Amino acid sequence: MYEPVGSSLLATASVDPPTMGVYDASGECEGCGPTGYRVLAQLLPSGSAPPTDRAAETWTELPVAGGGAQGISPLGSSVTVEIASCPLGSYVWLATELHFDSGFASSVVSADSTLIECAPPVQEVEINIIPRSINLRSHGVIPVALLGDESLDIMDVDAPTLRLGPGEAAPAHDLTDAWTYNDHLQDVNLDGFMDLIAHFRSPETGIVCGDTEATLTGSLLNGQALAGTDHFRTVACGGRKGVRSFLDRVQPQSLEPGRPAKLEKKE
């Protein structure tokens, strides 16, 4: 199990006691098997196969979360280690090195190595869906403003990677074209930071009548993922039922030639 914390990753590992050796009545088993373990790692390019080199010196001991050496973790317990460097496009393989009464083993249990694919945590961003009411029957486009601020420079956003809704609709316009991209830049909320307005075809978004929120996802030019959610309401969801309901409530009151019928609400 692992989770991002700031620029680091924290990984929690555990090793169950092996059933080996001869135990006396008190449960003691001196010198008959491993007594503990520590967690080691190898950093390899993304897509690499699990390491086959079991020599302990080819692996790196990881510090515990918050810093400091691991020491010996008793079998059956867990330890949380910190991976301070996990660059994009890399794999971190974790393995355990068993400890015996005579010291640590000279080889690691690489057959049980665990993969962590390096990726930074998702950056939360602010978006505005414009307008707040979405008419799904229009089959038009839904404008979404990705708002820049102190933590997000719009110029760092990889605009073509933006996707909206459960259908992951792509931008309706070619944002790889410089002229088109510049036309979509605007300080929407007048806060002094440039924003990006992208348009998405409503049928492609997967948004349906009754939905109240949608998420915009994408990535920065450095590969970091981003995501932001905004709320809205859907309108014109009743088909022709709404029109029929209105006609059912009114009746013509004038049938004189040359004069339009006057519709009045039925009592």
What pLDDT digit, counting tens, does each position of 192-248 carry? Answer: 999 999 999 999 999 999 999 999 999 988 778 899 999 999 998 875 544 443 444
HEC per residue, 166-221: CCCECCCCCCCCHHHHHHCEECCCCCCCCEEEEEEEHHHHCCCCCCCEEEEEEEEC
Res 168 pLDDT > 80: yes
- Residue 201's pLDDT is 95
Res 24 pLDDT > 50: no
- Residue 160's pLDDT is 95
Task: At 262, list the tokens.
Answer: 């006057």
Residues 6+ apart with CB under 8 A from 103: none
- Residue 259's pLDDT is 52
- Residue 119's pLDDT is 67
164 three-state secondary structure: strand
Q: In which residue are the tokens 């009592």 written? A: 267
User: What is the value of pTM for the model shown?
Assistant: 0.54
Q: What is the mean pLDDT of the chain?
A: 80
Rg value, the chain, Cα: 31
- Residue 110's pLDDT is 59
Domains and CATH numbers, the chain: 2-117 (2.60.40), 123-235 (2.60.40)
Task: At 211, list the tokens.
Answer: 């939905």
What pLDDT digit, counting tens, does each position of 71-114 carry? Answer: 888 888 888 888 877 776 788 888 888 887 777 877 777 556 78
